[in-house]
């Protein structure tokens, strides 16, 4: 894949995996890594890992179709027997497949691969189509992320369509509550869509989990003790998020922050030794604190009466 002749910030901006924290005019700011590609190497690898994870996540989300915790309006498709479905889950599943297949078509075109057989694709289950798309996109990840802007069809809600720039082409279907729009999307948009769809699926799967655990470390940005754990969709630690300022820490960033805070606390404890209560032994006073008790530093010898 050809590289740009000039470096530029990673397309993920302040969510870049290789971002650094810089103080500018007294304010702490997240600065994305500089790269010759669309994404820096850590973010590129993150998109690749997300692609590989999507098929298994799709299966899990599909299992939530009849779950009462699924988002969106519910509908019964028959009376005997009733089959309740979550429209929110169904819409998300359709969007995942549609978006990934659209990027597969573009990559097949630029990589000069065999064109998708539309008729044959319609006969295959959506899960199989998604699995094939993720495998192909993962194998041609650099080609995907280097795509130039090109027209692509996307389905938006009416409010989302209304917020698009003036002149955006498309068809509004008020009765159905959505609009079909044509957007110029590039490789950076591909990575962003893949990561957002993965995050939405993960959010749906974690709706029934216990509340996020509060972490005993203050935020490095705002100094408030409002850090809460972030888990992956399958329950693995994935960093932390501050509920005061909204800053998100990667798992590695939170580990470094926690280690630094604990080291500072240990240094302070060393400068001011803890004091403990030393009770002199008095005969016949078991179970009572004698008046002759003394408080001494830990490193002093025990005092006796």
pLDDT of residue 3: 55
Question: Residue 186: pLDDT above 60?
Answer: yes
Q: Is 60 exposed, middle or buried (0-12, 13-18, 19+ CB in 10 A)?
A: middle
How far apart (Å, rounded) are the C-alpha atoms in residues 29 and 203?
Answer: 27
Q: Which tokens is 149 given?
A: 């802007």
pLDDT tens sequence across 59-105: 988 887 766 444 444 444 445 444 456 777 888 899 999 999 999 99
pLDDT of residue 292: 42
Report the percent of the chain where pLDDT is more than 70: 75
What average pLDDT does the segment 240-253 reach?
86
Residue 282 Cα distances to 26, 158, 302, angstroms: 60, 82, 14
The least confident of 169-178, 217-226, 267-276 is: 267-276
Question: Residue 277: pLDDT above 80?
Answer: no
Residue of 137, 66, 145, 49 whose CA lies nearest to 101? 137
Q: pLDDT: is 34 or 85 the higher one?
A: 34
Residue 157 Cα distances to 53, 69, 164, 173, angstroms: 27, 22, 11, 10
pLDDT of residue 76: 47
Q: Which tokens is 289 given?
A: 């604190």
Contact 107, 137 (CB under 8 A): yes
How far apart (Å, rounded) are the C-alpha atoms in residues 129 and 126?
Answer: 5
What average pLDDT does the segment 145-159 reach?
93
Question: Residue 273: pLDDT above 80?
Answer: no
pLDDT of residue 177: 85
* Residue whose token pair is 């995050």: 199
pLDDT of residue 245: 83
pLDDT band at 280 (very low <50, low <70, confident <90, very high): very low
Residue 205 Cα distances to 49, 54, 55, 57, 86, angstroms: 18, 13, 14, 9, 13
- Is residue 238 helix, strand or coil? strand
pLDDT band at 132 (very low <50, low <70, confident <90, very high): very high
């Amino acid at each position: 894949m050809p590289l740009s002749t000039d470096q530029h910030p990673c397309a993920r901006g302040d969510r870049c995996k290789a971002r650094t924290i810089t103080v500018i005019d007294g304010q702490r700011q997240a600065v994305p890594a500089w790269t010759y590609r669309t994404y820096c190497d850590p973010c590129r690898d993150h998109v690749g890992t997300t692609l590989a994870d999507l098929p298994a996540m799709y299966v899990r989300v599909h299992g939530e179709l009849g779950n009462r915790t699924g988002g969106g309006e519910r509908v019964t498709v028959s009376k005997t027997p009733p089959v309740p479905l979550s429209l929110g889950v169904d819409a998300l599943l359709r969007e995942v497949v549609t978006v990934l297949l659209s990027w597969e078509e573009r990559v097949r075109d630029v990589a000069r691969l065999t064109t998708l057989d539309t008729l044959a694709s319609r006969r295959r289950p959506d899960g199989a189509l998604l699995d094939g798309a993720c495998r192909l996109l993962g194998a041609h990840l650099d080609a995907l992320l280097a795509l130039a802007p090109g027209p692509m069809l996307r389905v938006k809600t009416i409010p989302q369509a209304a917020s698009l720039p003036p002149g955006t082409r498309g068809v509004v279907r008020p009765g159905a509550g959505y609009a079909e729009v044509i957007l110029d999307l590039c490789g950076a948009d591909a990575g962003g869509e893949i990561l957002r769809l993965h995050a939405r699926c993960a959010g749906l799967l974690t709706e029934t989990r216990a509340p996020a655990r509060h972490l005993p470390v203050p935020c490095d940005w705002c100094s408030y003790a409002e850090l809460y754990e972030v888990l992956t969709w399958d329950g693995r630690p994935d960093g932390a998020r501050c509920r005061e300022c909204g800053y998100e820490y990667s798992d590695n960033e939170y580990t470094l922050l926690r280690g630094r805070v604990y080291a500072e606390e240990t240094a302070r404890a060393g400068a001011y030794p803890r004091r403990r209560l030393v009770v002199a032994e008095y005969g016949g006073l078991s179970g009572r604190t004698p008046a002759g008790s003394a408080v001494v530093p830990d490193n002093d010898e025990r005092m006796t009466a």
